[in-house]
Amino acid sequence: MAETDINLLPEITAVEVKEGVFRKKINVAAVFVLLVVIAVLLGAFAYRGIILLQARNIENEQKKREESIRNQVEKELVFREILDKLNFLSQELNNTPPYSKIAAKLNIIAKKSTVSINSISTSAAGEVVLGGEAPTSDTVDKLVEGLTDDTKPGFSSVDLVDLSGSVADGYKFSIRIIFPDRGVLVEDESEEF
Amino acid sequence: MNQKSFNADKLKEYFLPVAVLVVVVLIIPFAFLPQVNRIRFQAEELGKGKERLKLLEDKDNALLAMSLEELLATRSAVLTALPQSQDLARLIVGIGRIAALSEVGIKSMDFKPGKVATESAKEATSSVKQNTDSQPSKQDSKVKGELEFNVSVVGNINGLQRFLSLVEKAKRIFLVKDFSATSEETSLNITFKLNAPYRELPKLSDINDPLPTFSTKEEELFSKLDRLFIDYTNIIIPPGKVGKDNLFR
């Protein structure tokens, strides 16, 4: 005679079955999470190892290059000296007023004019003071006009500082000029003496 | 009572997930985060190391590409323009030649050794002071000197112009600070205030300092120095014995 189990409380069994499945899933998930965490941790260790290895290689390469640079120290020193000196020269030559051009311009103007220039003094600030004698006040005007023309080097300011004298004795004058140009490196082939 | 046993049973049933949770919670602050921090630090260090290696490679390759012979030839030309010391003998010869070519007569040359010595002393003491600092200063590598002197000449306005022009184009660089001229009967008494700069050998920089580049600006200047500037100081000074062997005799 066959025996048959009859479940008299099917709701309870269903809950137990559900709980069993849930527990199994939770356990699997927990193991999975643990494995993932361990994998990530191992990955981090491995990544650190790779970084350390790379750092060691880079350090070795750096040492080789340092050695090579030390062996070429004379080249480096000479090269730096050349550049240092050229930079210095460039700066100084570009900041020096072009006195020869100023003198040339004054020379041309003085030759054209009937005034006689008795003194010239300059300063590094870019100031030229001319002193001289003129037979008439008109000749001083012409001199000032000549100094204020557009030919290079241009003077940014020409001031008649002092003019004294008489028609009979002639005039003494003093003119202050400011020249803004700087630099003696400009190539000028037209200079003739 | 039943409730308690029920909870204990439940805890036993969920032992694995609870244990995993505890392990994960402990691993994150005590193992994972320190590891991440170490990785971050090492990655930064690696980045810096790569940058430094790149710099060293560039510097090394640039130096390898240079020829020492060519550099020494260039340096020799540059040293004519800006020597390492005052080089007075050549300087005086140069000024004499320029004056002769300008047709002006030299009345006097007035050097100021006191001023120069004081400046040198200042530089020396300042460099000693800088050397005592733990941080090496970049100023250390740039030691410059100036030799200011006055030259009085007699000539005319053409001579003045020519003298200035030749001085400005002299290969041994003379910087005209200022000049003054006063007429005396038929001639001009002219006084030039000149500066003959010199520059000592720069100190060797740190190995990590990149090599500066030779820009077109420097190339142009060197080319101009070579083509347009004239060397008036090219005299051979025979090496001789200087000073005394025994100061007490």
Q: pLDDT tens across A11-35, in order?
A: 677 777 787 888 889 999 999 999 9
| Residue among B13, B31, B60 whose CB faces A41 most closely | B31
**What pLDDT does A183 receive?**
84
User: What domain range includes position B97?
Assistant: 72-128+142-201+214-227
**Is there a single domain that holds both residue B97 and residue B161?**
yes
**What pLDDT does A126 receive?**
81
**What pLDDT does A19 receive?**
79
Residue A157, number of CB atoms within 10 A of its CB: 13
Q: What is the 3-state secondary structure (H, E, C) of chain B?
A: CHHHHHHHHHHHHCHHHHHHHHHHHHHHHHHHHHHHHHHHHHHHHHHHHHHHHHHHHHHHHHHHHCCHHHHHHHHHHHHHHCCCCCCHHHHHHHHHHHHHHHCCEEEEEEECHHHHHHHHHHHHHHHHHHHHCCCCCHHHHCCEECCEEEEEEEECHHHHHHHHHHHHCECCCCEEEEEEEEEECCEEEEEEEEECCEECCCCCCCCCCCCCCCCHHHHHHHHHHHHCCECCCCCCCCCCCCCCCCCCC
Entry pTM: 0.73
Q: Taking CB atoms and an 8 Å limit, are B157 and A77 in contact across chains?
A: no
pLDDT digits (tens, 9 = 90+) for A45-67: 999 999 999 999 999 999 999 99
**What pLDDT does B4 receive?**
52
**Is there a single domain that holds both residue B88 and residue B160?**
yes
Tell me, yes or no, whether B65 lies in a domain: no
Interface mutation vs chain B, best among A60, A63, A81, most B CBs within 10 Å: A81
Q: Taking CB atoms and an 8 Å limit, are B162 and A193 in contact across chains?
A: yes
For residue B194 the two structure tokens come to 């000149």
Interface mutation vs chain B, best among A99, A116, A184, most B CBs within 10 Å: A99
Q: Taking CB atoms and an 8 Å limit, are B53 and A62 in contact across chains?
A: yes
pLDDT digits (tens, 9 = 90+) for A100-155: 888 888 888 877 878 888 899 998 778 899 999 888 888 888 888 888 876 666 78
| Residue among B24, B71, B162 whose CB faces A37 most closely | B24
**Is there a single domain that holds both residue B158 and residue B36?**
no
Q: What is the CATH number of the domain that holds B154?
A: 3.30.70.60
Q: Taking CB atoms and an 8 Å limit, are B173 and A89 in contact across chains?
A: yes
Q: Is A35 on the interface with B (CB under 8 A)?
A: no
Average pLDDT, rounded, for chain A: 85
Average pLDDT, rounded, for chain B: 81
- In this prediction, residue B129 has a pLDDT band, given cuts at 50, 70 and 90, of very low
Q: Is B48 on the interface with A (CB under 8 A)?
A: no
**Is there a single domain that holds both residue B99 and residue B184?**
yes
**Is there a single domain that holds both residue B21 and residue B101?**
no
Tell me, yes or no, whether B222 lies in a domain: yes
**What pLDDT does B65 receive?**
94
Let me know: does B94 contact B81? Beta carbons within 8 Å.
no
Q: Taking CB atoms and an 8 Å limit, are A85 and B20 in contact across chains?
A: no
- In this prediction, residue A189 has a pLDDT band, given cuts at 50, 70 and 90, of very low
- Ordered by start, the domain boundaries in chain A are 9-71, 99-178
**Is there a single domain that holds both residue B41 and residue B164?**
no
**Is there a single domain that holds both residue B154 and residue B104?**
yes
Task: Kindly state the percentage of chain B with pLDDT values over 70.
Answer: 78
pLDDT digits (tens, 9 = 90+) for B97-111: 999 999 999 999 998
pLDDT of B131 strictly over 50: no
CATH number of A99-178: 3.30.1360
